[in-house]
Chain A
Amino acid sequence: MSSIAEKVVAGDIRTVARLIRDIDDGMPEVREVLKELYPHTGNAYIIGITGSPGVGKSTLVDQMVGHLRQRDKTVGVLAVDPTSPFSGGAILGDRVRMQRHSMDPGVFIRSLATRGHFGGLTQSTRSAIDVLDAMGKDYVLVETVGVGQDEVDVVRSAHTTVIVVIPGMGDDIQAIKAGILEVGDIFLINKSDREGADKTVSDLRLMIEMDQKKYEEGGWKPPILKVEAVFDKGIDEFLEAVDQHAAYLAKTEGGLDFRGNRNKVREELREMVKARLLEEALDRLTKSGEFDRAVELIVEKKIDPYTACEDLVLPVSKQ
């Protein structure tokens, strides 16, 4: 094993931090390290937490870390914030709510920016999860802003996906129901001391019960729980629901092992192949100058973009 992989498995903080940076920056040499780390993965329980901005995800994660530490579990946190589409920069502020854990050696917190790379958020976050898993964390919590398809993919790589909403978000629930609602394993109504919490519970229940048939056939029925993260209320009940979901998963194909479930493996591998093919093909077309030549031809109205695309793609795909 390379010294980097050895240090990761031994839990060396600086090595882990730098490796995640290399993954995020797309350094090709990390592939070899990830291959070496793979046999050391598959032990962490991964929880994805998503929901619109301002619903209290970071505060919730902070409380989850506290409660998991009381149970003597070690925790890794990946907190994803959006990259500015204009400057490419990002303000990563989730850590503000979690800094009380920064001196705890059983906790590793890392902020990530979405960076807007296609197929990239999913892949690099997935790889970062593997690194925290390999360093021996019992739980890995992934916090994302639940707004895009990419993020749905990220939470799909979790054992348990938690959707956080707040009272009065009826319309927003409508907006998200087709996307992220379908991937929710547990629904939390945070800030549930506010007016309208019970209405939100019944709105959600209505939607979830539309899938009654699925539950009768033994499918998981997502619980809807009220919490007040900032007052540390309802967190234990929530973590019990996570345990119940884990017990349910343990009885499905592959159990808690992601890479023992054909559908999940198929999905992950497809994403990896897609990203790699795209990268290699685009790289080749850019380096050979074909891509830029096609751009010129389109601008000079000598060719249409559909033909240009075919001319670029067909020779590559035949190889």
Chain B
Amino acid sequence: MKQQKRRVRVMVAKPGLDGHDRGARIIARAYRDAGFEVVYTGLHQTPEEIVEAAIQEDVDMIGLSSLAGAHNYLFPAVVQLLRERGADDIVVCGGGIIPEDDVEKLKAAGVKAVFTPGTPLDQIVKWVEENVSPRS
């Protein structure tokens, strides 16, 4: 039981019916290379399944990926369920094909950051490093 630095644990999840996870996999890889432990859930997850898995895995952050347009429903649903479970210390961020107009709405609903296409990977990693701290 050697005391070591707490490691950041994040979950990368694909909510809804969107079947494209190339982006999510690339993000997962970038997180791993940044030294995070990344739990990947696979495709077609409901917000309930994502929240339950995040609690069991004790992650510090959930990264949601959506390319199919249902983000306005799915992302806030995850935030809301975390609140209901008393687990709103878990940071939620999202990425994918998300119109500029929706970004502010999602942020107002409690999604801490939204990364749209073209965002460099190291910028996303840097955001996580600055805004997500492993539970102390």
Contacts and interface: CB of A to CB of B under 8 A. Distances in A.
Nearest to A19: B58
Task: Indicate the member of A17, A30, A117, A278 with the most B CB atoms within 10 Å.
Answer: A17
Contacts of B40: 91-93, 95-96
B38 to A, nearest CB: 5
Task: Indicate the member of B29, B34, B40 with the most A CB atoms within 10 Å.
Answer: B40
B122 interface: no
B94 to A, nearest CB: 19
Contact of A108 (B31, B45, B56): B56
Interface in A257-313: 275-276, 278-279
A123 interface: yes
Interface string B13-36: 000000000000000110111111
Contact of B7 (A13, A25, A30, A86): A25
B52 A110 contact: no
A28 interface: yes
A84 B32 contact: yes
B42 A96 contact: yes
B58 A91 contact: no
A99 B45 contact: yes
B49 interface: yes
Contact of A103 (B33, B38, B52, B134): B52
Contacts of B108: none
Contacts of A102: 49, 52-53, 56
A91 B3 contact: no
A279 B39 CA distance: 29
Contacts of A21: 9, 58, 135
A271 to B, nearest CB: 11
A87 B34 CA distance: 6
B37 A113 contact: yes
Contacts of A18: 58, 135
Contact of B29 (A26, A88, A91, A108): A91
Contact of A95 (B31, B41, B87): B41
Interface in B35-71: 35-42, 45, 48-49, 52-53, 55-58
Interface in A4-49: 13-14, 17-18, 20-21, 23, 25-28, 30-31
Given A89-B38, A92-B37, A96-B42, A279 B55 contact: no
Given A13-B55, A84-B32, 5 more contacts: A87-B35, A97-B42, A113-B7, A113-B37, A127-B1
Question: What 4 A-B pairs are tightest by C-beta distance, nearest first?
Answer: A96-B42, A89-B32, A17-B58, A21-B58
14 contacts: A17-B55, A21-B9, A21-B135, A25-B7, A25-B134, A26-B2, A26-B3, A88-B7, A90-B32, A99-B42, A102-B49, A109-B53, A113-B37, A278-B2
